[in-house]
Chain A
Amino acid sequence: MQSFQEIILKLKQYWAERGCIIQEPYDVEVGAGTMCPETFLRVLGPKPYRVAYVQPSRRPADGRYGDNPNRLYKHSQLQVILKPSPDDVIEQYLGSLEAIGIDLREHDLKFEEDNWESPTLGAWGIGWQVMLDGLEVTQFTYFQQCGGIDLELVPAELTYGLERLTAFLQVRDSVYDIEWTKAFSYRDVRYLDELQYSVYNFEMADIPTLWKLFELHEGEAARLLRAYNPEAPEKLRFPLLPAYDHVLHCSHLFNTLDARGAISVTERVGIIQRIRKIAVGVAQNWVDQQKEVPLAEVAR
C-alpha cells in the first residue's frame, strides 16, 4: 500500500518530469493553494510558468474538532499550474492518476461541470470536478480572470485533494485512518491540529483582537499600494510580495471571524470588498512591475 507521503512524492515526481518547478508550501496561512503567490501572481502577465506544490489549506469553518471522518480544518492540496495550458492537459492529468497506480480502465472517471469563483481575489475560472468512482478527487480549472484582470495566457489549475485521494487508494473510511507512513497515521500527525484549531476558531478566538489584526494588515497593504509608483526607476525593488502577504493575512482573519460568527450580514459584503480591493491592487501593480522583467529571462 502506498502511504500518504509516497502518493505525494509520486505526484511531485510526475509533474517535475513535465517541467514543473516543485515548490514548497507557502509559509503564510491560506484557504486554498490558489491564493499562494505562486498561483495568484504567477498566472498574471504574458510569461509561461509551470509549478507544483503541496499547500496546507486552512478553512476555519470546516473544522469539526477531529470528529468528522471527512471534514478538516486543514487539508492538503496538491496545486499544479500549467501556464499556458498544454493541448493535452487532460491526458497529462490522467497520466498523473495512472502514476499513483490507478488503472483507469478499471475505474469510472467523469468530468462534471464545476466553475470556480473567488470574489475576494477577483478571480474566476471554468472547469470541472473530476469524479473517480463517485468521489471528487480533483478540481480542474481554466483560469480566466485573476485580480480582476483577464489573463493573457490561460493556465490550467489542477487541485488534488490529497487526503481524499489517499483514503480512496488506501480504502479507508476516515481520513484519520490513512497511513501517513507505515508507522504513523494521519491521526497521529494531525488530530491535535484539528481539535485545537476548532476550539480556537469556534470558541476562543478573541473577536476584537482579530478585528484589530485585520485592520493592521489591511492598513499595511494599503499603505504599500499607495506608495507604489509605476514611474519609479527601480520599481522591481518595490515590496509587492510582502504587500500580498498582508492580503493573505486579511483573508484568513476574515475566515476565522466568519467561523467565529462575528461577521454580520451587512458587514460581510463590505469586508469581501475590502480584501478584494487590496488583492486587486497588488495584482495590477504586479502586472506593471513585471514589465521590467524581459520575457526572455524566464526559462521555459
Chain B
Amino acid sequence: MTVPFLLEIGTEEIPDWMIPGALESLHMLFEKTELPHESVRLDATPRRLVLRADGLPERQADSEERILGPAKSAPPQAVAGFARKQGVRPEDLCLESTPKGEYYSFVKKIAGKRTIDILADSLPEMILQIYFPKTMSWTGKTGARFIRPIRWIVALLGCDTVPFELAGLRSGTLSSGHRRLGSPEVAVTIDDYDQRLRDHYVIISAEQRRQKISREMAGIRVKTDPALLETLVYITEFPTAITGSFDSQFLDLPEEVLITVMRHHQKYFSVEDAAGRLAPQFVAVMNIDSDREGFVRRGNERVLRARFNDARFFWETDQKRRLEDRKDDLARVVFQAKVGNYYDKTLRIEERVQSMGGDAHASRAAGLCKCDLTTELVMEFPELQGVVGGLYARAQGEPEGVWQAIYDHYKPDSMEDAIPRTRAGMLVALADKLDTLNACFSVGLAPTGSRDPLALRRAAQGVVRILVEGKIGVFLHQHVGGEALISFLKDRVRFYFKDVRGFPYDEVNAVMAAGWSNLVEMEARLERIHALRHTPDFEPLAASFKRIRNILEQAKFTAMEPVEETLLEQDQERELFAEYKRIQGQPIENVISRLRPKVDLFFDKVLVNAPDLRIRQNRLTLLDTLLREFSTIADFSEIVTTS
C-alpha cells in the first residue's frame, strides 16, 4: 500500500523572484530524506509553497541488525550478560564464524518506521532549511527564521495529518484562500486540494496562471516580456489582465522612459501599434478576478499619469542645464566609496579612450558619458543611466556619433544584449568597464565565489565581447594591472570562447597559451586552429609537438646556438631541417601536410638522445626551432589527441 503526501507551507507574501529557487531547494531537501516515492510535484503562489509526492510506503521496510557478542570460549557469565542485554535467553543466541573464530551473535529485528513518523520528525527542520537569500524572524529574535512569517501548514499523508509543530503553529488540514476573494480557512484533502483552492480563488499551478495571463492578453499587441510575465505569475494567486490607456501627448517623451516607467515601476506590459511604435496603452495584471466598476483600471491610469508627469517634469527640468555643465558636479557623485567619485572616473575614461585611439566623437562622449548621473531623470530611474545621457545629448545637438556612444556605453548589460553600435560607443564602454575593473581590483573588491555585488563579471564579460565582436584590436594587457585581474579576465575570455562561442576547450587553451592580449587576433588564430582540427594531419602533428615539448623539458633544453647543419647526421633530420627552411614564415595551413611526414620520419629513425653531446644538443635545437615556428599560433601540446 502506498500513500500520497502533501505539504503546503502557508506564508505571507514571498518575493516573486525567490519562489522558483525556494521550490528547488524544497525539492532537494525532500529527496534528501530518502523516502521512497514515485513522482514529485511542486507548486507555489506568493503565499504558499507546495510539495506533493505520490507512492510513499506507509511504513519503511523491516530490517535486521546482527550484533556480535562474546567469543564462544568466553565464560558463561559473559554470554548470559550479552543475552540479557539483548533481552533474550542465552539459548536464543546463534554462533557465528568469523575470521577471528566463533562468536555468539544475535539477530535483532528492527521494525520499519512509519512514514508518517519520519515525516513528522523531519518536516520542521526541512521547512526551515529551505534556502532564501535573506531571512527574518517574526516570533522573536531566537525564533524561527524564514523568508516571511509562516502562518499555516498543511501536511497530509493519505488521509492523515502529519503532526508537528513549527514556529508556534500546528500542522493540520486547513489551508487558506485568496486574501480578499476566498475564505481565510479552507479545509482540504489531497484529492480535492487543487479544486478547493480554485474555489477560493487560488490557482495553484504557475503554468495555469501564466496561461491565464497570456490568454487574456491575446489580441493585444503586447511587447513580449518573459521576465515581467514570470514576475506577475509569482506575485498573484488569481491573475487577471486588464487594459488601460494613457494620454497620447505623453508619446512625445522618449519611448525608453515611458517603457521603463511602465515595466519597472508599474509592472505593466507596454503595447505597440501595427507599425511597431509604442501605443498609448498598457496591460496591467491584477491579483483579483475582475474589475467590475473599472476602479482598478482608472486607478492604474491615474498612477501612470502621475508617473509620466513626473518624468516629463524631470525631462524638462534636466534640459535647463546642459550635460557639459554638469561635469564638475560629478565630483559629488560616489563611484565607489573606496575608489572615489565619478569626476575622477570621467577623467580616467577620457584618457583611456584616447590611448585606445578614440576619435573626436569618442573623446567627446567619454567626457559627457557620466553627466546624466546628476539628472533628475536618472536619479528617478537609475536603470536608464547612459540612455538618458544619450537622449539629452541628442536633444542638445550633439552629433550622432557622440550621443549614440553615450547612449550605448553601458552595453552589453547581459549575454543577450547587443554591444554598442559604433566604434566610439565601444571605446567608451570599454574604457568605462576597464576602469571599473582596475579600480575595484586595486582596492580588493574582486568578486568572491558567487558574490559579485559590483557586477564585475558582467563588466569583464562585456569587455571581452566588445573586443572580440567589435573587432577592437587593442592589447588588453596594456589596459589592466595586477595578476588577480589578469587571471579574472583570462577566465572570462576562456568562458566566452568555450561556453558562449562553443569552441572545444583544448583548442581555446592551446590558442590562449600562445597569447590572448589581442582578442581579435586570438579569435582569428582560434578559428584557424578549429578549421585545421578536422584535417588528417592535425592531430598527429599536435601529438608530435607534444612529444617535442616533453623531450625538450626532460632534457632541460636551453637554446644556445642555431642549428648547425654540419652536425646533422641522418637523412631524416637533414630533410626535416630542409623542410623547415622551406616552410619558414608560411601559415601552418599551407605546410601541415608536407611537414607531418617529415616529423614522423624523424621520430621513427632518429635517436634524439645521441651519445655525442653536440649532436644531441643540435637535434634538440632543431626540434625547438620547429616548435617555436608554430607556437605563435597555438601551443599544440594543449591539444587533447585521441591517439
Q: Is residue A265 within 8 Å, beta carbon to beta carbon, of the partner chain?
A: yes
Of A9-17, A130-138, A176-184, A201-209, which stretch is located at the interface?
A130-138
The reply to whether B140 and A84 contact each other, CB–CB distance below 8 Å, is yes
The minimal Cβ–Cβ distance linking B50 to chain A, given in whole angstroms, is: 19
The reply to whether B299 and A144 contact each other, CB–CB distance below 8 Å, is no
Given contacts A109-B287, A264-B332, A115 and B13 within 8 Å (CB-CB): no
Chain A residues within an 8 Å CB radius of B293: 106
Chain B residues within an 8 Å CB radius of A287: none
The reply to whether A70 and B341 contact each other, CB–CB distance below 8 Å, is no
The reply to whether A109 and B139 contact each other, CB–CB distance below 8 Å, is no
Question: In whole angstroms, how far apart are the Cα atoms of A70 and B305 in the complex?
Answer: 11
Q: Is residue A85 within 8 Å, beta carbon to beta carbon, of the partner chain?
A: yes
Of A125, A144, A265, the residue contacting B332 (CB under 8 A) is: A265
The reply to whether A70 and B287 contact each other, CB–CB distance below 8 Å, is no
Question: In whole angstroms, how far apart are the Cα atoms of A135 and B15 in the complex?
Answer: 18
The reply to whether B332 and A261 contact each other, CB–CB distance below 8 Å, is yes
How many pairs, one residue from A and one from B, have CB atoms within 8 Å of each other in the complex? 114
Of A94, A154, A171, A261, the residue contacting B179 (CB under 8 A) is: A94
Question: In whole angstroms, how far apart are the Cα atoms of A136 and B46 in the complex?
Answer: 18
Q: Which chain A residues in 140-165 approach chain B with CB under 8 Å?
A: 142, 144, 150-154
Q: Is residue B284 within 8 Å, beta carbon to beta carbon, of the partner chain?
A: yes
Q: Is residue A104 within 8 Å, beta carbon to beta carbon, of the partner chain?
A: yes
Of B306-314, B412-420, B617-625, which stretch is located at the interface?
B306-314
Q: Is residue A231 within 8 Å, beta carbon to beta carbon, of the partner chain?
A: no
Question: In whole angstroms, how far apart are the Cα atoms of A154 and B168 in the complex?
Answer: 15
Of B54-62, B130-138, B153-161, B450-458, which stretch is located at the interface?
B130-138
The minimal Cβ–Cβ distance linking B166 to chain A, given in whole angstroms, is: 14
Q: Is residue A5 within 8 Å, beta carbon to beta carbon, of the partner chain?
A: no
The reply to whether B134 and A154 contact each other, CB–CB distance below 8 Å, is no
Q: Which chain A residues in 101-144 approach chain B with CB under 8 Å?
A: 104-113, 115, 125-126, 128, 132-135, 142, 144
The minimal Cβ–Cβ distance linking A265 to chain B, given in whole angstroms, is: 5
Nearest residue, chain B, Cβ from A125: B136
The reply to whether A171 and B302 contact each other, CB–CB distance below 8 Å, is yes
How many interface residues does A have (CB within 8 Å)?
45
The reply to whether A134 and B304 contact each other, CB–CB distance below 8 Å, is yes
The reply to whether B287 and A154 contact each other, CB–CB distance below 8 Å, is no
The reply to whether B184 and A128 contact each other, CB–CB distance below 8 Å, is no
Chain A residues within an 8 Å CB radius of B360: none
The reply to whether B235 and A107 contact each other, CB–CB distance below 8 Å, is no
The reply to whether B299 and A90 contact each other, CB–CB distance below 8 Å, is no
Question: In whole angstroms, how far apart are the Cα atoms of A202 and B340 in the complex?
Answer: 25
Question: For A67, A108, A132, which residue has the most chain B Cβ atoms within 10 angstroms?
Answer: A108
Q: Is residue B173 within 8 Å, beta carbon to beta carbon, of the partner chain?
A: no
Convert A42-81 into 0s and 1s, putting 1 for each residue whose CB lies closer than 8 angstroms to a CB of B. 0000000000000000000000000111110000000000
Chain A residues within an 8 Å CB radius of B305: 173
Q: Is residue B32 within 8 Å, beta carbon to beta carbon, of the partner chain?
A: no
The reply to whether A91 and B266 contact each other, CB–CB distance below 8 Å, is no
Of B15, B17, B181, B303, the residue contacting A133 (CB under 8 A) is: B303
Question: In whole angstroms, how far apart are the Cα atoms of A239 and B266 in the complex?
Answer: 47
Nearest residue, chain A, Cβ from B231: A112
Q: Which chain B residues in 287-346 approach chain A with CB under 8 Å?
A: 287-288, 291-293, 295-296, 298-300, 302-306, 309-310, 313, 331-334, 337, 340-341
The reply to whether A168 and B299 contact each other, CB–CB distance below 8 Å, is yes
Given contacts A84-B140, A126-B148, A111 and B306 within 8 Å (CB-CB): no
Given contacts A133-B295, A133-B299, A69 and B309 within 8 Å (CB-CB): yes
Q: Is residue A27 within 8 Å, beta carbon to beta carbon, of the partner chain?
A: no
Convert A254-295 into 0s and 1s, putting 1 for each residue whose CB lies closer than 8 angstroms to a CB of B. 000000010111001100000000000000000000000000
The reply to whether A142 and B299 contact each other, CB–CB distance below 8 Å, is no
The reply to whether A107 and B296 contact each other, CB–CB distance below 8 Å, is yes
3 closest cross-chain pairs (CB), A and B: A133-B299, A113-B15, A111-B13
Residues of B within 8 A of A (CB): 12-13, 15-17, 46, 134, 136-141, 148-149, 151, 179-181, 184, 235-236, 266, 284, 286-288, 291-293, 295-296, 298-300, 302-306, 309-310, 313, 331-334, 337, 340-341
